[in-house]
Amino acid sequence: MKFETRAIHDGQEPDSLTGAVIVPVYQTSTYQQEAIGKHKGYEYSRTGNPTRHALEVALASLEEGRFGLAFASGVAATAAVFSLLKKGDHIVAGDDMYGGTYRLLERIFKKWGLSTTYADVDEPISFEKSIRKNTKLIWIETPTNPLLKIIDIKKISNVSRRHNILLAVDNTFASPYFQRPLLLGADIVVHSTTKYIAGHSDIVGGAVVVNDLRIYNDLKYYQNAAGAVPGAWDSWLVLRGLKTLAIRMKAHQENALYLTKYLSKHPKIAGVYYPGLPSGKNYAVAKKQMQGFSGMFGFELKGGRQVVDKFFSRLKLFVLAESLGGVESLISYPAGMTHISMPRQERLKRGITDNFIRVSVGIEDKYDLKEDLKNALSIL
């Protein structure tokens, strides 16, 4: 069955008890046992909950994987993957990635004995060059945050296979509608379901999808033992969101294509970053491994911080906020928001300039969005 159909039906059969068409919110912590150890498959909601279970089945289906696990946040899902490693293990990670993943590696797992080398995502060969004897995991994110670079998943998976290392891909920016890393050779897919999958900026959640039963069992054990699980209500909201993922992603992409074309020609714009622009250096790989280019883009204004502040103050529809993937358009300033803790030199070295702006385009009318940008640019 096709993606759109699976999103609505997989894991979401009518309730066997009542016939309810929508999976109920099983707002319960515990479950009756008929006799000691005799129950209907659920004992305690940290271990398992029917609403969460429906979500986990649906998530696995969307990624075309065998097993899904839902977590309380994207960061909790990421931590679950790192928990597969042990003291002394080494990770190779892309150097353009979500700040919270970097923080988790450097501030939490480093002191537990994991070390990380950051490979230059513009040079795929640097991933292989960074591998050591104790490397157990390659971690990538594509498209990357915030610069929207594309990493060739198949190429990296060839490296990971050759060295017998796990490859994990954070697929948050593309969503499973536009990219399915497991089909490209990845072992593990991670999501912040907070973003496109839930899609309405109203919950925080995460997910991991895998094919290998042993990895699944280890992650499932960790999920119950460490306990960062989503509640039934949040699981239900993610389920409600993912039913419309396909139509939302098409709309996000249409708006992103339209606006990046407009901005590319604007005299006050110094550069546009979007994998869907045929003139960009990431286009060929994006076209090969993705079914679309998603709704995230970046651009640089001509001028410095003052120009950025002025521009933001004039916007009416684009909301200045962190996060992404919701139905409403959000705009953010990495140098002063998500990457503020990074030393300026380091930030500039990575290409995050003082006039770089990141956009998560929503599904509003594209002409209204263009007018908003046009109006704000006109005063600069």
Ligand X SMILES: *Cc1c(COP(=O)(O)O)cnc(C)c1O
Q: Which residues bind ligand X (CB under 6 A)?
A: 73-75, 98, 100-101, 141, 145, 170, 172-173, 192, 194-195, 204, 206
Nearer to ligand X, 141 or 372 (CB): 141
Which residue out of 136, 149, 180, 195 is catalytically annotated? 195
Nearer to ligand X, 79 or 376 (CB): 79
- Find the residue with minimal CB distance to ligand X: 74
Active site residue 268: no
Active site residue 283: no
Closest contact distance (angstroms) between CB of 238 and ligand X is 11
Nearest CA to 17 out of 43, 45, 40 is that of 40
Nearer to ligand X, 198 or 285 (CB): 198
Helix 245-264 × helix 366-378 angle, to 10°: 30
Q: Which helix (H) or strand (E) holds 52?
A: helix 50-62
Distance (Å, rounded) from C-alpha 175 to C-alpha 325?
9
Helix 50-62 × helix 232-242 angle, to 10°: 30
Which residue out of 26, 98, 118, 274 is catalytically annotated? 98
Nearer to ligand X, 330 or 377 (CB): 330
Closest contact distance (angstroms) between CB of 203 and ligand X is 9
Answer whether 299's CB lies under 8 Å from 273's CB. yes
Closest contact distance (angstroms) between CB of 193 and ligand X is 7
* Count of C-beta atoms within a 10 Å radius of residue 255: 23
Question: CA geometry: angle at 233 spanning 228 and 237, to 5°?
Answer: 100
Answer whether 196's CB lies under 8 Å from 247's CB. no
Closest contact distance (angstroms) between CB of 325 and ligand X is 8
In Å, what is the CA distance from 212 to each residue of 48, 208, 228, 279? Answer: 20, 12, 22, 39
Active site residue 46: yes
Distance (Å, rounded) from C-alpha 188 to C-alpha 208?
7
Closest contact distance (angstroms) between CB of 307 and ligand X is 26
Nearer to ligand X, 195 or 347 (CB): 195
Which residue out of 89, 96, 170, 187 is catalytically annotated? 170
Answer whether 161's CB lies under 8 Å from 185's CB. yes
Closest contact distance (angstroms) between CB of 98 and ligand X is 4
Which residue out of 15, 46, 314, 354 is catalytically annotated? 46
The residues, any chain, with a CB within 8 Å of residue 285's CB and separated by 6 or more, are 150, 151, 152
Nearer to ligand X, 146 or 377 (CB): 146
Q: What are phi and psi of 139, to 5 degrees?
A: -120, 120
Nearest CA to 130 out of 170, 88, 95, 80 is that of 95
Active site residue 170: yes
Active site residues: 46, 98, 170, 195
